[in-house]
Structure 1
Amino acid sequence: MRRRDLKFFSILLFSAALFLPVSVSGQEKDSSLDTQIKEVEKAIKAGKEQSRHLKQQADNLKSALSKAGRDRIQIANSVQSLEQRLSKLETEIDDLNGAEKEKRQLLESRRGQFANVLMALQRISRLPPEAVIAYPAGAEDLIRTAILLKSAVPQIEGQAARLREDLIALAATRDLIANRKS
């Protein structure tokens, strides 16, 4: 029996020798596989973190782009409003320049009339009252001149007042033009 035990023992030893390297090798493979699994899990976790970070950046960029679009629309509306206001001001300035030109033309047309009336009044004012009696024209002409002067003086005063108003309006128009341009 001893031989048989020896044979059994040798088979057992041989089997152990065969299977022992396999189990040690299997343990190494299990350890290597665990390491690889941990690395893959780590890479998946890092990928998820990077994906979350990139999604956050994409959301931020999308928000900034949306805000930039709204700002651009607001700026365009402001520019359009300012252009309309500028157009109105230019039209107003053109109208004021036209009014100024009309007032100048009116003053130019009246200038001749005022010059003639002023010269006539200066000639009459140079004559002292005593000299009116010795005036070469007859008494009828003196009476007519007095009547004409009596009726002309209020008209001249009215025209002078209108002239004063026109000059004031012209100055105001020029001021308005200067204010609108600035």
Structure 2
Amino acid sequence: QLESDRGRLEATQRRSKEIQAEMDKLAAERERINSRLVETGKLIQQSEAQMGLIESRLGELETQERQIRGTLEERHGSISALLAAMQRMGRNPPPVMVTQREDALSMVRSAMLLASAFPQLRGEAVALAERLNALVGVVTSIRSEGEKLKAETTRLNDARVRLAGLQETKRQSLAERQSELAQVRVAAADISKSVSDLGDLIAKLDKEVAERTGLGTYDQEMAAREQEKQRAAAPGKQITERKSSAELAPSSDRVAMLTPGRIKPAMPFVEAKGQLPLPAHGRRVLTFGEKTQYGSQSRGLVIETRYGGQVVSPCDGWIVYAGEFRSYGQLLIINAGGGYHILLAGISQIDVQLGQFVLTGEPVGVMSAAAKAALPKTQESGPVLYIEFRKDQRPIDPDPWWAEASRKVQE
């Protein structure tokens, strides 16, 4: 009997070690996938920002080119006279029109030759040469920026292909949870049809997701932490409270925010102020508290993004809603714990699942990929992303949470 019991114990210990090894393997794989997802999302947004700068420079250069060509056209009469004189100077006259960079260079040389041969025309020839030199410089710069744009576009497309592969790998890694996540999706679909108020939607979905994910446990931890803070309010307990906060908060905020294997927030959301990235690169068109076109105050931040722009999660949290909802269109709601929610609306394609835990900087969706064909180019504007922070169901100003680098987004 003793030998039999010892054998069962050893078998149990071996199985326990095997299970632990498998869990460690899964954790390492999750860390690897998450790390690459966050890294690729960052690379895509950096590439989008670089393309925006290149496109801006190209726009300025093209404006300069139009202005220079316009000036040349306005002085067509005097230039024609100069050209006629040039034509009389030799068998190989310069071109009458500037269509290529080489044409402009030929005209510059001829103008300077004319200036030396006919002193009375020197002023006119020098002025023409200066304008043509400026045109040559602008055209050369346009070519250079165009090559940079082409190379950056290739890098961006390559990064997007890598991202698609990583997202598919992550979807497969969540396969064992598909049954419970499917139940959450069914419940969410029913709830979204039965409520018209966003607050009711969030409250009911929080309950559904909390019952089936780590959100429930995390909420309990946060509630216990809040109770501890209240008990520590007495002067004699301040040291204990400070120690408790230090233990809960990571020693290095930046390192903690990038720990890829975590399955719950790296720190309480309230302690992440000044550290969160904006979800998308673009231009702020409306900030919290500003008047909207309808006369009401904005309850969030609106960013005009580039077409097909990458959207990332601004924080750690659980996806409690992902889909269409009333006038919001495609809506993504992230529960960051502690009564905080982040709403992202205006996304064209959502790439995460209901109930999924996402990391700060993890790609969650993509903005609309194309402009409306009916709009003239002068009236085109990029798609807009609406970002709203809520604390206990009340909209709050998100600005204190953005990292310094994110604050430099185009105003």
TM-score range, shorter chain: 0.5 to 0.7
Aligned pair partner of 1:68 in 27, 33, 44? 33
Equivalent residue runs for 1:1-182 within 5 Å = 36-116=1-81, 156-182=121-147
1:53-99: CA deviations, max 9, x gaps? Answer: 21122122212212322221121111111100101101111111111
Amino acid at match of 1:175: T
Q: 1: CA distance between counterparts of 2:119 and 2:63?
A: 31
Q: Distance in 1 between matches of 2:29 and 2:121?
A: 74
Partners of 2:67 and 2:119 lie apart in 1 by 25
Instruction: Output the CA distance in 2 between the equivalents of 1:106 and 1:98.
Output: 12
**Distance in 2, Cα, partners of 1:117 & 1:103:** 18
Q: CA deviation at 1:121?
A: 11
Distance in 2 of aligned mates of 1:178 and 1:110: 26
TM-score computed with the length of structure 1 as normaliser = 0.56
Residues 91, 58 of structure 1: alpha-carbon distance in 2 compared, 3 angstrom cutoff: same
Q: Once the 2 structures are TM-superposed, how far is the Cα of residue 38 of structure 1 from its aligned partner?
A: 2.6
Report the CA distance between 1:108 and its aligned residue: 1.0
In structure 2, the residue corresponding to 1:48 is in which secondary structure? helix
Pairwise CA RMSD: 2.7
For residues 84 and 34 of structure 2, the distance between their equivalents in structure 1, rounded to whole angstroms, comes to: 73
- Tell me whether 91-100 or 168-177 shows the greater mean CA deviation: 168-177
Q: How many residues align?
A: 118
TM-score normalised by the chain length of structure 2: 0.26
| Structure 1 residue ranges, 4+ long, deviating more than 3 angstroms after superposition | 116-122, 153-156
Structure 1 residues 80 and 155: CA distance shift in structure 2, 3 A: farther
Report the Cα distance in structure 2 between the residues aligned to 1:165 and 1:116, rounded to whole angstroms. Answer: 17
Q: 2:394 — aligned with what?
A: none
Seen in structure 2, the aligned counterparts of structure 1 residues 179 and 38 have a Cα distance that, compared at 3 Å, is: same
Partner Cα separation in structure 1 for residue 57 and residue 84 of structure 2? 40
Deviation of residue 172 (structure 1)?
1.7
Counterpart residue type for residue 108 of structure 1: E
Separation in 2, partners of 1:168, 1:71: 48
Give me the whole-angstrom Cα distance separating, in 2, the residues matched to 1:77 and 1:92: 23
Look up the equivalent residue of 1:82 and give its one-letter code: S
Aligned partners of 1:88 and 1:173: how far apart in 2?
Answer: 17
CA contact (8 A) 2:82 2:125 kept: no
TM-aligned CA deviation for residue 162 of structure 1 = 2.1
Identity, % of aligned pairs? 24
Does the 8 Å CA contact 2:65/2:135 hold for their aligned counterparts? yes
What is the rounded CA distance, in whole Å, between the counterparts of 1:155 and 1:120 in structure 2?
Answer: 12
What are structure 1's unaligned runs of at least 5 residues?
1-35, 123-152
Cα distance in 2 for partners of 1:176, 1:110 equals: 24
CA–CA distance in 1 between the matches of 2:54 and 2:70? Answer: 24
**Greater percentage in strand:** 2
Which ranges of structure 2 fall in alignment gaps of 5 or more residues? 88-117, 148-411
